[in-house]
Amino acid sequence: MSVTLKQIRYFVAAAEAQKVSAAAVGLGISQSAVTVAIKELEALLGVSLIRRRIGGIGLTQDGLKFLHYAKNIESSIADAIHSMKNKEAEASGKFRLGVTYTGVGYFLLPILARFKRSYPNVEIEMVEMTRIQLEQAIAEGEVDLALLIVSNLSKGHGLKYKILMKSPRVLWLSSGHPLNRLPEISLKDLKSETFVQFISDEAITSARKYLTKVGFKPKIILKTTSMEAVRGMVATGAAVTILASLVYRPWSLDGGRVELRSLKESIPSLDLGLAWRADQVLSEAETKFLDYLRSEGSLPAV
């Protein structure tokens, strides 16, 4: 028996939602169907991918690694499907897209290249801003769409949005860290650890919110806008951090390796989405772009 696309799709949905029930609702199937697909996948791979915890599921170390491969497979399939729909190339139009650091750097660029191949007559002008600036720019009509972390959106401008992906927040630590010997890691295991805190794109604000809710205060020795500094400190064992798997890359600049581990506690995911004015009717080009991003992300179109 070989791995099927259905098994991969169900696993990715469950991993991103961090709940089998939520994944099943999004996919429009039963919870048992998701559970069976993941068990079949684990049997084929010979590893455990998920573990049960209070309030949902977490990924094992093998599960975190396989998630990256699984999402690449889904993207390749979506790209192949779009490339076969030659009539889609007839769509045309122009719009201005606002982006934040995380969205453009870790999600958009490879997808945008594939979108342009599928829709060569759609012209997109991009501008990078902070989330606060983008909300104002959308309200004033300076940008048509905005790719940003929608879980940070304020309610003042009444924007509409669609979530494109949910990236679990996980523990980053060096490959040789003693905590890697534990079968599971809890926040209480991190009380004596030093942390490096990434602060771009409101990461520090989000961290305060979810860590305060679970009653954990990290011992932060560096706050930085440099992701390379974060990777370097983690890879050398100088610190650990908690960040979304979306921004994960395994190697630091000096060749050290960063590992990912799920935490026992349930921590909110990073929700990336596309936003626009509530009274705005999306053009054909904007609609094609939204549909393409949703197909490239991990969530079903609803």
CATH (one of 3.40.1230.10, 3.40.718.10, 3.40.640.10, 3.40.190.10) for 169-268: 3.40.190.10
- Per-residue three-class SS string for 148-177: EEHHHCCCCCCCEEEEEEEECEEEEEECCC
Second CATH level (architecture) for the domain 90-166+271-296: 3-Layer(aba) Sandwich (3.40)
| Mean pLDDT value of segment 4-17 | 88
| Mean pLDDT value of segment 167-194 | 93
- Most confident region among 82-86, 114-118, 153-157, 240-244 by mean pLDDT: 240-244
Report the run of H or E that residue 147 belongs to, with start and end. strand 145-149
**CATH 1.10.10.10 placement within the chain:** 5-81
DSSP H helical segments within 46-162, as ranges? 61-84, 101-103, 109-118, 131-139
Confidence of residue 301 (pLDDT cuts 50, 70, 90): very low
**CATH 3.40.190.10 placement within the chain:** 90-166+271-296, 169-268
Q: Which 3 state secondary structure label does DSSP give 18? A: coil
Helices then strands, counting H and E runs in the chain, come out as 10, 12
Lowest-pLDDT choice from 95-109, 167-181, 269-283, 286-300: 286-300
pTM greater than 0.85: no
**Of residues 150, 254, 158, the one with CA closest to residue 206:** 150
Report the run of H or E that residue 13 belongs to, with start and end. helix 5-17
CA angle 181, 248, 197 (to 5 degrees): 85
- b/e map 139-153, b = 16+ CB within 10 Å: eeeebbbbbbbbbbb
